[in-house]
Structure 1
């Protein structure tokens, strides 16, 4: 028996119990089992040049080659264990994993590397690479057991979030109501001021409660946790109006975030202080600085040499060399992906135990 359309189910819930939180609406719009943007079918919620958005792994294999360097550095730091389990959460179609395997890091050649690709979409899991070192996993309610490294690339911005607005008498939650056949915003009760910033009427902020819960759950695993995402200080986000809330569809901007739930991606810029406060304090840097720390410049120079050597006659080696140069321009652009924030939480000696010494 088919269920009612998602929009009708959300409208019925609001009519039954009143306005709902933004996070409730966004959770349904993105992850409803039948009609969620990331779960409905393979025509939506797909990263890549033919999908709805482009992430660093989809720019080309260079990002994955740098991640392979990082995995080797961390493996060596950990004493080159016989098994090195790397879990990517929100793995999409497995593009990053393919690039890491193609780069053939030492931990792979040494037989230690195991890749766990966690992805909610059945359609995207069906595109995951296969082989003895790769496991494709549907996420459960709890983290999937012990591992050594957890990677989350542009995942936190897609976890459901709430919204607050500064009104004349203080911060109020932005709720979702249903009026005259449309989903609309309304303001809820007065909230305590927990942001500690100077705000003006109509300033808005995301509340990253679910992202914080996710970070704490992953930290309990004890692994090194690396999260790549776009983030900014709270005071900066508050002055962007609703500019930190974005929708995407078909590689372009979507419509209002309340329009046609399930038809478009809904994301937020991360309020950096909320991420830092979610658990133990992470190190943070820009994506450009992270990539340079793990050898992107050397990889690009290798590509430049290959291109110069083979430009006259062409060939795959020369073309891949030229591609590295162009990929690096995108990945390192300080006004784009290069300006993304990388949050890094170091590993524990054991889950819940003392810190492992970091580089």
Structure 2
């Protein structure tokens, strides 16, 4: 999974109608703006530390960063933007969207300052292990193609995700800041096979065309929260994306945009429904915040 996704992201822009999938920031500017507002409010409540920086893990085309930073700048934030991205193609797009951005290969390379961090659909693409009947499941060559070597009740675990959450949490506990984690997944650890592949906006067989389709699985938020707490950070309750965006005022923001652009009313209504509705991203996607214990809990979680 790690090798396939590394090649996949390094060799294409996977986003949009010409790509394989669409993320929330590409649906509407409102998503990034509300994330920026949540970060700005938490930063101001923490005393507006001047050495804080904006950090994003897996920032796609830079759309979310551009929208969030626009709101942060209006609140007086002057920190640099630091992007963890390994794809040369996506770095090029990010450079156009986020002026003056700085890139890093890994979380460990980021500066030792307070972070205002966002990870939107980042953890789901990190590699997992599957256990079938208590034994690790492997991929083998069979019949001229790839196949799993065993079946049965599946349990999934992701040491890579838990390590990333722990690294972020340790930094926040030591240096200050917060992280907003937005992804699809489940609130409690449970058995089940959630590994999936997407190509051309459709699900595809997971072992088909390795490196040519996006491989993801559902994030176990209970495991992520446990790793963060073990690393010394504070963790908010988990909320659905729809509930979180509604609490932050996506309806009011949409109304404001409609007032300024009446011709966009239908488009904006559709975007709100897609981002918050049960038949869109509203229930499947969840939001969790990890923050320094000395920083207040960010908005939208209580």
User: Fold-level match, TM-score > 0.5?
Assistant: yes
Determine helix, strand or coil for the equivalent of 2:138: strand
**Post-superposition offset of 1:125:** 0.6
State which of 110, 114, 125 in structure 2 corresponds to 1:158. 125
Describe the superposition over 1:49-75 as per-residue Cα deviations: whole angstroms up to 9, x where unpaired: 321111110112111121121122112
Aligned to 1:116: 82
Count residues with an aligned counterpart.
287
Larger Rg: 1
TM-score by length of 1: 0.73
Establish whether residue 185 from structure 1 lines up as the match of residue 148 from structure 2: yes
Aligned equivalents of 1:218, 1:52: Cα separation in 2: 29
Q: More helix by proportion, 1 or 2?
A: 2
Aligned to 2:200: 250
Alignment of structure 1 residues 317-328 onto 2, 5 Å: 317-328=261-272
**Post-superposition offset of 1:111:** 5.1
Q: Answer yes or no: is the 8 Å Cα contact 2:50–2:78 preserved in 1.
A: yes
Aligned equivalents of 1:271, 1:344: Cα separation in 2: 14
Q: What is the Cα-based RMSD across aligned positions, in Å? A: 2.4
Aligned to 2:240: 286
Aligned equivalents of 1:261, 1:279: Cα separation in 2: 32
CA gap 1:210/1:131 in 2 versus in 1, 3 angstroms: closer
Determine helix, strand or coil for the equivalent of 1:229: strand
Determine helix, strand or coil for the equivalent of 2:228: coil
**Post-superposition offset of 1:81:** 2.8
Establish whether residue 60 from structure 1 lines up as the match of residue 28 from structure 2: yes
Aligned to 2:287: 342
Q: Which moved more, 1:108-117 or 1:80-89?
A: 108-117
Aligned to 1:312: none
**Post-superposition offset of 1:130:** 4.8
Q: Answer yes or no: is the 8 Å Cα contact 1:30–1:266 preserved in 2.
A: yes
Structure 1, unmatched stretches of 5+, are: 1-25, 188-200, 307-316, 349-354
CA gap 1:59/1:210 in 2 versus in 1, 3 angstroms: same
Structure 2, unmatched stretches of 5+, are: none
Greater relative contact order (Cα < 8 A, sep 6+): 2
CA gap 1:233/1:81 in 2 versus in 1, 3 angstroms: closer
